[in-house]
Structures are given as C-alpha cells and as structure tokens.
Amino acid sequence: MCDFSLLSEARDFNALEEIIVRLVERLVIRFLGAYLRHLDTKLMRERPPGLRHVGVKTRRLTTRFGDITILRRCYVEQESGRYRYLLDESLGLACRERFTRGLKARAVDEASRQSFRRSAAALGGKASHSSVHNWTWQVGAAFRREVEHRRRQVFGLGRAVEGLARRVAAAFCEADGVVIRLQRAAGKVIEAKLAIIHEGWERLHPSSREYRLKGKLVYASLQGPSPFWESLSVLAGRRWDLSAVKVIAGDGAEWVKQGVGYFPGAVYQLCRFHLARKIRECLGGLGPAFGRVWAARSDPERLIESATEAAARAADPEAKERARELLGYLVANRDGLADYRTRVDIPGVELRGLGAVESNIDKLVSARMRKRGMSWTVEGAANMLAVLTLRVNGWLDAAIDAVWGSSRTAEPTPRRPAAPRPGSQPGLMPIHMPALDRTRPVTKALRALTEVAWPF
C-alpha cells in the first residue's frame, strides 16, 4: 500500500493536491500490474492449441499514470515457428511501442492548445517535448494524407463523394486567411486558409439573446485555392448536399471568391466587418466624405457613387490615393456588396449577419500559432493546422484511433522460416488485385477492409 503519511508533508492545499495525485498514480500502477499478471495467466490457460510456452519476457510501458514494467509469457507456434505474446495481442499493444495510446492522445490534445514544451510539462515529465512534437506531426500528416487521397478520388478519378449528404434548408460558408510566420523557408510568412460551414444559428437556450452556430464544420490548411476548396467540398459533401450552401462570405480575396464555383446555387457576400474596416482605414480622417460613404454602405450603388465622389473631391494627394484604394476595393467586390438577406430567400430559417470566421481564427489559429516569438516550418504549420481542424470538429480522438488504434496488434518476428503451405509455389507473390479497381459492391466491401476508419 502507499504511504499516506506523506500527506502530513503538505504545507498548503496545492502541495496536498500534488501529493494525492502522486499517491493515486502509484495505486493505479500497482492495480494495473496486478490485473495484467492475472490476465496473462488467464490467456495462458485458454491459449489455442499449437502454442508452446517458451519463457517470460519483460516490457516497459509509459502510461498516463507513469511507468510500468510488465512480465508476459512468450509462445511459439509449433507449425510456423512464429513467436507471439498473447497479452500484447489481447491489449492491442503494437510491437516495440513504449508509450500507450492514451498518453499520446493526451499529448496531442495538449499540443493543439499550447507549446510542445508546456504540453510535455503538463504530462508530468512522462514524455519529452520532442516526442510530443513527433506524435502531433504523425496525426497531422495522416489527416492531410487522408484528405488528399479523398480529394484525388473525387476530383482526379471522378468518384462520387461517399457519405450521408443530409439535406438541410440552408448552409452558410465563411472563409478568411491569416498570416503565419515561417522559419527555415524562402519566404518570411505564409497565408493559412480557414473556412467554416454551418447550418445557421440557434439560441443558447430558449430565452437567450446569444446565439451559437449550428452543425459547424471547420477546415484550415496551407493549400492553394483550388485544392483548398476541393478538399473542403469533399469534407462538406460527406455531411450535406452541397446545393444547400447558399452563401460564401469573405474579405474580398480572390481565392475566397473562387469557392462559389464549388457550391451550386451559392452567392458571394463581402463580409460586413471587412467592409466597415476598409472604409475606416481609407476615409477615417476625411470627415464629411467618410460620413456619406458610411451611411451608404447598405446600398451598393450609392456606396460606389459616394466613394467615387470622395475620390474626386479629395484635395490632399494621400487622401485621394486612399479614396481611390477604397473605390477599387468596392468595384472589385461589386457582386458581394448587397446583403445576402436581400438576395437569398430561405423559408423557415432565421437569417443573421455573417462574420463568425473572425472569432474562430482568433480562437483556433492565432491562439496556437501566432503568439509572440512563434514561427513554423511549412510542413510543421500544415500539420498543426490539420490537428487544429481535427480538434475543433471533434475528430481528434477518432483520428488518433486511426493512427494508433487499439486494433493494431503486436507483430512478432519469426525466428525460423515458415513452412510452405500445401499446394503453394515458393517465390511467387501476388502484387496486384484488379478486382479492387472495380466499382462493384463486393469491391467496395473488400476495399473497406483495407482502409483505416476515419471519423469524417
């Protein structure tokens, strides 16, 4: 048993709490060790025929509660000579893996919220910050590969998007970019693209004046415009019918406008927040001109006329240049100046102003990737954006299962060549199955057996 006399050493409540945590961890490790010994004995008694017990091997694991050294029995298959550890197979422990799935899952979740060093400290020193870094990159890279694979399946091979494709009254898309500082790269900065698709708004509770987004899907990436929108449409197409997206809102960037081509029936909306900010930046010190343009911002034609008049009347060269900059911005976004609520009719849906992407960028990307002194490699930034996408969508735990799932069992190394099967021809190995290239139902079933189960 643990020595509870240690509690008397606590000088304050925080010290008492730390001592209790250490005591609980010791108790859990002892209980876990006892259970594993019992399970190993049970597996020995119930082992299938053809397995011969050849000894006991030690294995050290680092868990969420600390290090544990376990003893498990080793067996050899009499027919093939393959060595097996039934305890490892029963628990889904990968061969030569020291850290448990639970510890790595917590490390990746912590790393999506704070620096790698602080994440390692939050684990109580059970893993180094470089290990946390590597695990996070593994999950992010795996998600990126999966998204790219599905994008190529749809836009490269012409396969249909597989998913529920629920029909909803309407969905709304907002997109924006944020600059991230780079290290060890040709450029100093790179733009991360972020988009949100949601089904509208709902009150926090029936009498609340505050709203939240309903059915939100978030995607962040460093991809170019076309791959970004293709990837987003593949992810969205597994959840909704893409024709449900009625509006695509953004700050006027050309890559945002390209998204309209991926959602049939959607209209472009210039974000009201960015429009107001642009007016203040360009005409903030021009007095009457600013007032006229500001008052006309809800009327596209009058807004452009007021901006044209402000550019013509400005006497100062610098003020004239700023007014012309505003006029060019308005003309370039003429199609999105009118409020989408005057252009889209969606019965039964309460339409509200757009602009949720700004707060999501602050909460998601800026809070983790743009703090003072932070800089990233291109690969590192892409992987972290992938992990942030997984976390905010609630996919992180399932993605970790896909990377280090409990279904992965130990793969022992054979000590002597396996005996050939009756009727087999040595030296021949199949390298291709044409049946997997077809689209028959049986082919889909076979392909599903070889694919990792991702949560989206």
At 389-400, the pLDDT tens digits run 999 999 999 999
Segment 131-139 shows an average pLDDT of 96
Q: Of 169, 203, 171, which is closest to residue 346 (Cα–Cα)? A: 169
Residue 213 · residue 356 · CB < 8 Å:
yes
Buried b (16+ CB within 10 A) or exposed e, 335-351: ebbbbbeeebebeebeb
Q: Report which residue type is found at 234.
A: V
Local confidence band at 332 (pLDDT 50, 70, 90 cut-offs): very high
- Beta strands 83-84 and 171-181 are unpaired
Residue 410 · residue 94 · CB < 8 Å:
yes
pLDDT reading at 349 higher than 90:
no
- Cα(456)–Cα(453) distance, integer angstroms: 9
Q: What is the DSSP string of 240-299?
A: B-GGGEEEEEESS-HHHHGGGGGSTT-EEEE-HHHHHHHHHHHHTT-THHHHHHHHTTTS
- Cα(212)–Cα(192) distance, integer angstroms: 24
Question: What's residue 208's pLDDT?
Answer: 87
More confident residue, 226 or 1: 226
Q: Is 215 exposed, middle or buried (0-12, 13-18, 19+ CB in 10 A)?
A: middle
Collapsing DSSP to helix, strand or coil, 431 comes out as coil
Collapsing DSSP to helix, strand or coil, 118 comes out as helix
What are the φ and ψ backbone dihedral angles of 99, each rounded to 5 degrees?
A: -95, 140
Local confidence band at 163 (pLDDT 50, 70, 90 cut-offs): low
Question: What's residue 372's pLDDT?
Answer: 82
Local confidence band at 6 (pLDDT 50, 70, 90 cut-offs): low
Question: What's residue 164's pLDDT?
Answer: 65
Q: Which whole-number Å values give the CA distances from 3 to 22, 43, 124, 301, in the listed order?
A: 11, 33, 21, 79
More confident residue, 417 or 272: 272
Mean pLDDT of the chain: 85
pLDDT reading at 286 higher than 90:
no
Lowest mean pLDDT among 26-35, 156-165, 242-251, 308-317: 156-165
- Cα(50)–Cα(72) distance, integer angstroms: 18
Enter the tokens of residue 301.
Answer: 């034609």
Segment 78-94 shows an average pLDDT of 91
- Cα(205)–Cα(56) distance, integer angstroms: 59
pTM, to two decimals: 0.83
- Cα(100)–Cα(89) distance, integer angstroms: 14
More confident residue, 157 or 249: 249
Q: How many residues does the chain have?
A: 456
Tens-digit pLDDT profile for residues 398-448:
999 999 875 444 444 444 444 444 444 444 333 444 444 444 555 544 444
Local confidence band at 297 (pLDDT 50, 70, 90 cut-offs): confident
* Secondary structure E strands in 83-137: 83-84
Percent of the chain at pLDDT exceeding 70: 86
- Cα(122)–Cα(120) distance, integer angstroms: 5
- Angle in degrees, 0-180, between the axes of helices 317-332 and 272-283, rounded to the nearest 10: 160
Enter the tokens of residue 375.
Answer: 């800089």
pLDDT reading at 185 higher than 90:
no
Question: In 3-state terms, the chain is what percent helix, strand and coil (to 5)?
Answer: 50, 15, 35
